[in-house]
Amino acid sequence: MSPEILTILMFGSLIALIALGHPLAYTLATVAVLFGLIDNGFNLPALFDMFANNSWGLMQNYVIVAVPLFIMMAQVLDRSKVAEKLFESLYIVLGGLKGGLGLAVVFVSTVFAATTGIIGASVVAMGLLAGPALISKGYQKELTSGIICASGTLGILIPPSIMLVIYGGLTGYKETSVGNLFAGAIFPGLILAALYFLYITIRCYVNSTLGPPIPESDRTHTARQKWAMTLKSLVPPMALILTVMGAILSGVATPTEAAALGVVGAMILALANKTFNWKVLKEAGLATYKTTAMIMMLFIGGKWFSTVFLSMGGGDVVADFLLGTGLNRYVVLFIMMAIVFFMGMFIDWAAILLVTVPIFTPIAMELDFNPLWFALLMCVNLQTSFLTPPFGYALFYFKGVAPQEISISHIYRGIIPFVLLQLIGLTLMIIFPDIITWLPSIVFGGQ
Give dist(CA 447, CA 440) in Å, integer.
8
Give dist(CA 22, CA 33) in Å, integer.
16
What is the pTM for the complete model shown?
0.83
Query: Apex CA 178: angle with CA 175 and CA 183, to 5°?
Result: 80
Q: Please report, in tens digits, the pLDDT of each residue of the chain (447 residues total).
A: 677 888 888 888 887 887 777 777 888 889 889 998 888 888 888 888 888 887 887 777 777 787 788 888 878 877 777 777 777 788 788 877 888 889 988 988 888 777 766 666 678 778 887 888 888 888 999 999 999 999 988 888 888 888 888 888 777 677 888 889 999 999 999 999 999 999 999 999 999 889 888 777 666 667 777 778 778 877 888 888 888 888 888 878 888 888 888 889 889 888 887 888 888 889 888 988 888 887 788 788 878 888 888 888 877 777 777 777 777 899 999 999 999 998 888 777 877 888 888 889 888 988 999 999 999 999 999 988 888 877 777 888 888 888 888 888 899 999 999 999 999 999 999 999 999 999 998 887 644
User: What pLDDT was estimated at residue 378?
Assistant: 93
User: CA distances (Å), 215 to each of 91, 98, 138, 143, 293, in order?
Assistant: 12, 11, 11, 20, 47
Is residue 318 within 8 A of residue 10, CB to CB? The reply is no
Q: What is the 3-state secondary structure (H, E, C) of the chain?
A: CCHHHHHHHHHHHHHHHHHCCCCHHHHHHHHHHHHHHHHCCCCHHHHHHHHHHHHHHHHCCHHHHHHHHHHHHHHHHHCCCHHHHHHHHHHHHHCCCCCHHHHHHHHHHHHHHHHHCCHHHHHHHHHHHHHHHHHHCCCCHHHHHHHHHHHHHHHHCCCCCHHHHHHHHHCCCHHHCHHHHHHHHHHHHHHHHHHHHHHHHHHHHHCCCCCCCCCHHHCCCCHHHHHHHHHHHHHHHHHHHHHHHHHHHCCCCCHHHHHHHHHHHHHHHHHHCCCCCHHHHHHHHHHHHHHHHHHHHHHHHHHHHHHHHHHCCHHHHHHHHHHCCCCCHHHHHHHHHHHHHHHCCCCCHHHHHHHHHHHHHHHHHHCCCCHHHHHHHHHHHHHHHHCCCCCCHHHHHHHHHCCCCCCHHHHHHHHHHHHHHHHHHHHHHHHCCHHHHHHHHHHHCCC
Q: Which amino acid is at 134?
A: L
User: What pLDDT was estimated at residue 203?
Assistant: 93
Give dist(CA 143, CA 165) in Å, integer.
32
Largest CA distance in the chain: 77
Is residue 106 within 8 A of residue 197, CB to CB? The reply is yes
Q: CA quadruple 388, 381, 179, 240: dihedral positive or negative?
A: negative
Helix axes 66-78, 255-272, angle to 10 degrees: 20
**What value does the CA radius of gyration of the chain take, rounded to a whole number of Å?**
22
User: CA distances (Å), 111 to each of 78, 130, 158, 214, 295, in order?
Assistant: 13, 15, 9, 23, 24
Is residue 112 within 8 A of residue 125, CB to CB? The reply is yes
